[in-house]
Structure 1
Amino acid sequence: MKRRRARLSLDEYERGVLAADRSVFAQAITLIESREEEDGKLAQELLGRLLPKTGKATRVGITGVPGVGKSTFVDAMGMKLIGEGHKVAVLAVDPSSSVTGGSILGDKTRMARLSVEPNAFIRPTPSGLSPGGIARRTRETMLLSEAAGFDVVLVETVGVGQGETAVADMVDFFLVLALPGAGDELQGIKKGILELADAVAVNKADGDGAARARVALGDLRSALRYSHRKRPSWEVRTLTISGATGAGLDDLWKIVEEHHTAMEASGELATLRAEQQRSWMWSLITERLERAFRANPEVATRLPQVEDDVFSGRTTPTKAADELLASFGMARTSD
């Protein structure tokens, strides 16, 4: 018989997180990740208490095509920041893990220096969650990290071609890493991702890759001229870096700091975070309504046949939705 994990009291969780007690901090994150209803209630009470102690970190999202060197970059950037007196939390978002089980523990082992650094914390995404569940737990882990004194939070999207919007919606600064190369290699970066970016950095700009990185940088700058600007007050910055040698990391972090200062001074940072909170609320409402809808006995009984009717073309999606919503007890309203 599986033994029940002992729960701490609310006061013990709060004191431990605020004191940056790593054991209690880890238990608090486990509490947030738990699917048990009682744990969920306690986790929300804890977050409510800790909320006034959050919000002081610089939140940076990181994405890039496979092979771009995200783990090497995060390891190098994290160690640079720790060397300057920062405490760094690294959170990985992998929407594909709900299907595949994820492979982000491998990323953690590739951050060899950062994973053993006492002023760093690396948290992979729990597998088996819905994309909405992953985003929620990452957001809440971010708040716990800030309450525990981590003043830089790096949120890495690990899923290939997934999760960029979810990460962009929970950070202040969104960084896209690109490969050194031009033409087809550059097409690995989707236009939509470029429109989320606050900066684009061509990684692996060292050795034989240095010349190709400069060419890629020129191509990126040309592409960005035709890309929709994320916000009028900020022009997307581009540069070359090397996670392996550390070249360009100082310049990149200066860009992050410049962006943070400008956003804070204009009031845009507070507005951005408030909008993210509101968006988060609605995403939770949507997720929970769908869960309740699918769990409804009448809906569950009719759903397979209605889905089959839509799939085979025997009915329209609109009529099918109306039928299922009526089973749920929701009257049809005009769109």
Structure 2
Amino acid sequence: MTGEERQERSSLVFSTSVRPPRLSAEQYVKGVLENSRSVLAQAITLVESNSPQHMKLAQDVLKQLLPHTGRSIRVGITGVPGAGKSTFIEALGTMLCERGHRVAVLAVDPSSPVTRGSILGDKTRMEQLSRNPRAFIRPSATGGTLGGVNRKTRETILLCEAAGFDVILVETVGVGQSETTVRSMVDFFLLMMLTGGGDELQGIKKGVIEIADALLINKADGENKQRAMVAKAEYNRVLHYLQPATAGWQTQAYTCSALTGEGIAEIWGVVENFRDELTRSGGLAARRQAQSRDWLMSMTEDYLRSRFFGHSGVASKLPEVEAAVLRGELSATAAAQLLIETYEQKRDESEWGE
């Protein structure tokens, strides 16, 4: 690979940075709207920062960019380990780019609960897509966030939309009840499965299937194709007895092969039909309004939690109270009340300057 090719590739796939660049809000806004990939990557790093100074600047940038957002189709993709999510996303993203779309992939990697580090390997797993000038791949660590998605993923979606990307694909980690978090930020939720329907159903939480707008059995090729068709029929039988995730839309199972490309165009046709039907019925607008409401509550709760546990009085008293609960000397309810009283007392003293 030549130096020029390396430079081009680095402009398509960005790793996270611990220190956001020093740009003004106007420079961020101008760069994102002009589809400067380097500025877009820097803006995403900015919104991911927990620094109060960076957070204030990020909100200023987002406020100015909001009128330029909301024009994409947002698709969440999750699945059981080994289902081939990254391979499928690369095949789908490549096809969409060839059709003239601009595709942003937000690939969320799991963070280690010990080191808080992550693999961030999607930029190598999607090597072909990463070289496409119409694609933008952003690997991002979850930071241990519930739901397998970075807590700033919503802001990142808005930035990518402002930069002109009309398809946003959010790849989440694993499968579990917490995957409902991604449902609160996308239009269409795709659950990827493996063949062997009966066996696989035993290991999948019912709640995850209930929030899916489509089930997709990947690797339907070669000798595995017949097994994939059997799995598809099995899943459709189960879906028949479940309430659809979206009113007015019937969730169904489909098959594809990310290796051969068979079924990729068909599943995207399902996504387009979903968008068209919900746009006509007003369901898409209602969903996004509900998501904005959920986002407001989530951010409020996050802020209050941060303020509470970051309070000096609570922080100093927490080890003692926690130890008392573990020794059985204090109930969890009483302990919580004690911490709350400490927080409120110290806050009142601070307000009155005592």
Q: Which amino acid aligns with 1:107?
A: D
Q: Which amino acid aligns with 2:240?
A: R
- Are 1:179 and 1:186, in contact at CA under 8 Å, matched by a contact in 2? no
1:13 aligned to which of 3, 10, 28: 28
Q: Secondary structure at the match of 1:271?
A: helix
CA deviation after TM superposition for structure 1 residue 229, in Å: 2.3
Q: Which residue of 2 aligns with 1:243?
A: 258
1:321 aligned to which of 305, 314, 336: 336
CA deviation after TM superposition for structure 1 residue 72, in Å: 0.4
Q: Secondary structure at the match of 2:266?
A: helix
1:213 aligned to which of 222, 228, 237: 228
Q: Which residue of 2 aligns with 1:93?
A: 108
CA deviation after TM superposition for structure 1 residue 206, in Å: 0.4
Q: Which residue of 2 aligns with 1:143?
A: 158
- Are 2:108 and 2:142, in contact at CA under 8 Å, matched by a contact in 1? no
1:106 aligns with 2:91: no
CA deviation after TM superposition for structure 1 residue 38, in Å: 1.8
Cα deviations across residues 193-245 of structure 1 (Å, max 9, x unaligned)?
Answer: 10110000111000111011011111111211232322331110211111111
Q: Which amino acid aligns with 1:61?
A: G
1:69 aligned to which of 68, 74, 84: 84
For the structure 1 residues 133 and 301, does the alpha-carbon distance in structure 2 shift closer, same or farther, using more than 3 Å as the test? farther
- Are 2:78 and 2:174, in contact at CA under 8 Å, matched by a contact in 1? no
Q: Which amino acid aligns with 2:268?
A: W
- Are 2:75 and 2:189, in contact at CA under 8 Å, matched by a contact in 1? yes
Q: Which residue of 2 aligns with 1:277?
A: 292
Q: Which residue of 2 aligns with 1:157?
A: 172
Q: Secondary structure at the match of 2:120?
A: helix
Across the two proteins, how many residue pairs are aligned to each other? 328
CA deviation after TM superposition for structure 1 residue 136, in Å: 3.1
- Are 1:202 and 1:241, in contact at CA under 8 Å, matched by a contact in 2? yes
For the structure 1 residues 125 and 214, does the alpha-carbon distance in structure 2 shift closer, same or farther, using more than 3 Å as the test? same
Distance, in Å, in 2 between the alignment partners of 1:5 and 1:296 is 27
Distance, in Å, in 2 between the alignment partners of 1:164 and 1:287 is 18
2:274 aligned to which of 255, 259, 273: 259
Q: Which residue of 2 aligns with 1:182?
A: 197
Q: Secondary structure at the match of 1:23?
A: helix
Q: Which residue of 2 aligns with 1:333?
A: none
Distance, in Å, in 2 between the alignment partners of 1:90 and 1:52 is 22
- Are 2:108 and 2:150, in contact at CA under 8 Å, matched by a contact in 1? yes
Deviates more, 1:101-110 or 1:220-229: 101-110
Deviates more, 1:22-31 or 1:166-175: 22-31
- Are 2:105 and 2:171, in contact at CA under 8 Å, matched by a contact in 1? yes
CA deviation after TM superposition for structure 1 residue 159, in Å: 4.2
Q: Which residue of 2 aligns with 1:309?
A: 324
CA deviation after TM superposition for structure 1 residue 305, in Å: 2.4
Q: Which amino acid aligns with 1:329?
A: E
Deviates more, 1:290-299 or 1:57-66: 290-299
Q: Which amino acid aligns with 2:136?
A: F
For the structure 1 residues 104 and 295, does the alpha-carbon distance in structure 2 shift closer, same or farther, using more than 3 Å as the test? same
Identical-residue share of aligned pairs (%): 52
Q: Which residue of 1 aligns with 2:181?
A: 166
Q: Which residue of 1 aligns with 2:140?
A: 125
Distance, in Å, in 2 between the alignment partners of 1:133 and 1:209 is 29
1:42 aligns with 2:57: yes
Distance, in Å, in 1 between the alignment partners of 2:56 and 2:274 is 37
Q: Which amino acid aligns with 1:201?
A: L
TM-score (norm 1): 0.91
Distance, in Å, in 1 between the alignment partners of 2:326 and 2:241 is 39
Q: Which amino acid aligns with 2:293?
A: R
- Are 1:142 and 1:153, in contact at CA under 8 Å, matched by a contact in 2? yes
- Are 1:241 and 1:248, in contact at CA under 8 Å, matched by a contact in 2? yes
Cα deviations across residues 246-276 of structure 1 (Å, max 9, x unaligned)?
Answer: 1111111111011101111111111111111
CA deviation after TM superposition for structure 1 residue 131, in Å: 4.2
Q: Which amino acid aligns with 1:32?
A: V
CA deviation after TM superposition for structure 1 residue 309, in Å: 2.8
> Over the residues paired in the alignment, what is the CA RMSD in angstroms?
2.2
For the structure 1 residues 303 and 133, does the alpha-carbon distance in structure 2 shift closer, same or farther, using more than 3 Å as the test? farther
CA deviation after TM superposition for structure 1 residue 5, in Å: 5.9
Q: Which amino acid aligns with 1:293?
A: F
